[in-house]
Structure 1
Amino acid sequence: MTLLLTHPACLDHLTPPGHPERPDRLRAVAEVLGEERFSALSRGEAPEGSLDSVMLCHGELYVGELRHVAPTSGLVYIDGDTSMSPGTWEAVMRGVGGAVAAADAVLSGEHQNAFVAVRPPGHHAEASRPMGFCFFDNAAIAARHAQRKFGIGRVAVVDFDVHHGNGTQDIFWADPTVMYCSTHQMPLFPGTGSRGERGEHDTIVNAPLAPEDGGAQFRSAFDNLILPQLEKFGPELVIISAGFDAHYRDPLASLNLRAEDFGWVTHKLLDLADRHADGRVVSVLEGGYDLQGLKESVAAHVTALMGA
């Protein structure tokens, strides 16, 4: 059975008017997953994460500074894209807690897989720097937690957000036990993710896509580059950084994926997990900024998870 974790506190991270990373994103996800076809989901609330969990991937000084600048009123701008409101800290910690709780539920055998519907996203947050709407890297924290608590030897983090997950790559650059794989549009923010960026142990796999590329190029990148590398690596847990902003409707980029492409890649990753990881998959929401595109894509992704 598929576990869905979310929390209303994630709506309380407020961003400036017109900002794409807005509370309505999570409302759209909740609306579509509230439909009758998703009634079989096992639903729970994302707990607040611990600072100990955060510091599996982020430095103590950075975590303390971020906690210190969190406002009690108004907005504090961290950079041109990234700001904090009074509700941001709890929202961020629910994201951490949701990702960790999902890993616990899947690795304990309680659930086959899980989808963590939280915001703000996380994959741009480097070890000591927030950026690109992100503060802490939920997917990376879940990977480290799985290793620390359950002794998982090899974890794969697979990221199909349209923006490269520079934070996840930064955190695992020199780690032979975590493979990070990404499809993303280039050139585009944050400017990282070229094919030549492979990490110190050849466990970084970047498959950049060109503007206007669509499902054929996306599927080819997985079939010809990412999936063969994952097969060789043999992960014992698969974590998905599930960004849906490569959808053709999305305003922040210019790839042309459709909902069925996200369903296809989810099935491919589930098949991989069946072969190597006892089917264990944890998916964490990243980007996706057109509400209709987000709803269609999440529906396809979660439908695939539920069919596993």
Structure 2
Amino acid sequence: MATALITHADCLEHVTPDGHPERVARLEHVWHALADLDLVRESAPEADDAALLRCHPQAYIDRIAAAEPAEGIHQLDEDTWMSPGSMRAARRGVGGALRAVDMVLGGEVQNAFCATRPPGHHAETQTPMGFCLFGTAALAAKYALDVKGLSRVAVVDFDVHHGNGTQDLLWDEPRTLFIGSHQMPLWPGTGTADERGAHDNIQNIPLDPGSTGTEMRAAWEPAIARLAAFNPELLIISAGFDAHKDDPLAQLDWETEDFAWITRALCDMAAKVCGGRVVSTLEGGYDLSALSAAARVHVQELMGAAR
């Protein structure tokens, strides 16, 4: 079996102001880091409104579409911007994740990495925020459940910022288990351990500033055991690489090898409970060198699990 890389040049058309951390160069660096790897390369389709409606109401979709400027850039909040092409880029991000679900569940590949932008895990039901417009990982989970007929889907998130959007979108969904680690205190300020979901289907793992891979591994080992007990039929990863010690937006001290470890541990769990079926989608990571290195080892571990 193989690993798919799903991406699209339209994701370069989402432009942010000079100096903004979530910039076009992020995706270009990820592409360069993965260029020599033997991957099944797939073009991300655009998600239609029906796909977005599994998590977001039509009024919200219409509001985001209407906010896209004909020229220049438009600010939605203090962190989140749109340019001509942002809506198409965001639809490619969601569509790429849905295509990844199709490929993995259909047996075309063992697992997949979606290298798209803007990211998605901060987008709440009716609120864009934290660079995000639509909840990519949650939408992929709902697609796997509602369209592909799965009964249980797990979503994990190791971005340095809490995946408040994914939590919001899956809060009332008993067929999912969402587990995420993040630095606390840190923006957006959510993600305490007592936020557990309507069906005890949320588990947050707050990590103190300065935490290294040692603390991360100790926290994730019991969480991965819980994932295995949930017995998911598919694992979706929100792969943020901004917990790296060189990232400018936070203060966790993970090394590149720590991203390899958590990917390997999650893939090992998936191999035991869901036939190794894993879909990963790019979230944060704002030091370009650290992002490139971490994304590469993440994909190499996916490739190793697919052999």
The answer to whether TM tops 0.5 is: yes
For 1:305, the aligned partner's letter is L
Shift of 1:190: 0.5
Match of 1:272 among 249, 264, 269: 269
**Residue 202 of structure 1: aligned partner:** 200
Shift of 1:269: 0.8
Shift of 1:228: 2.1
For 2:57, the aligned partner's letter is G
Q: Distance in 1 between matches of 2:275 and 2:296?
A: 24
For the residue of structure 2 that corresponds to 1:279, the secondary structure is coil
Q: Distance in 1 between matches of 2:221 and 2:266?
A: 11
| Structure 1 residues without counterparts, runs of 5 or longer | none
**Residue 108 of structure 2: aligned partner:** 110
1:235-274 to structure 2, matched below 5 A, reads: 235-274=232-271
**Residue 90 of structure 2: aligned partner:** 92
For 2:270, the aligned partner's letter is A
Runs of 4+ in 1 over 6 A off after TM superposition: none
Q: TM-score, normalised by structure 1?
A: 0.98
For 1:268, the aligned partner's letter is A
Shift of 1:113: 0.2
For 2:245, the aligned partner's letter is Y
Cα-to-partner distance string for 1:76-117 (whole Å, 9 max, x where unaligned) = 110010010002111101101100000000011111000000
For the residue of structure 2 that corresponds to 1:98, the secondary structure is helix
1:136-175 to structure 2, matched below 5 A, reads: 136-175=134-173
Q: Distance in 2 between matches of 1:286 and 1:196?
A: 24
Q: Distance in 1 between matches of 2:171 and 2:143?
A: 17
1:60-99 to structure 2, matched below 5 A, reads: 60-99=58-97
Q: TM-score, normalised by structure 2?
A: 0.98
For the residue of structure 2 that corresponds to 1:307, the secondary structure is helix
May I ask how many residue pairs the two structures share in their alignment? 304
For 2:292, the aligned partner's letter is K
For the residue of structure 2 that corresponds to 1:298, the secondary structure is helix
Q: Distance in 2 between matches of 1:141 and 1:88?
A: 18
In 1, are the aligned partners of 2:135 and 2:169 still within 8 Å (CA)? no
Q: Distance in 2 between matches of 1:222 and 1:228?
A: 9
For 1:82, the aligned partner's letter is T
For 1:184, the aligned partner's letter is H
Q: Distance in 1 between matches of 2:94 and 2:190?
A: 24
For the residue of structure 1 that corresponds to 2:147, the secondary structure is helix
Q: Distance in 2 between matches of 1:42 and 1:50?
A: 24
**Residue 15 of structure 2: aligned partner:** 14
Q: Distance in 2 between matches of 1:69 and 1:199?
A: 31
For 2:29, the aligned partner's letter is A
Q: In angstroms, what is the RMSD of aligned CA positions?
A: 0.7
**Residue 39 of structure 2: aligned partner:** 41
Question: Are 1:126 and 2:124 an aligned pair?
Answer: yes
Q: Distance in 1 between matches of 2:208 and 2:291?
A: 21
Q: Distance in 2 between matches of 1:19 and 1:55?
A: 29
Q: Percent identity?
A: 53
Q: Distance in 2 between matches of 1:270 and 1:210?
A: 26
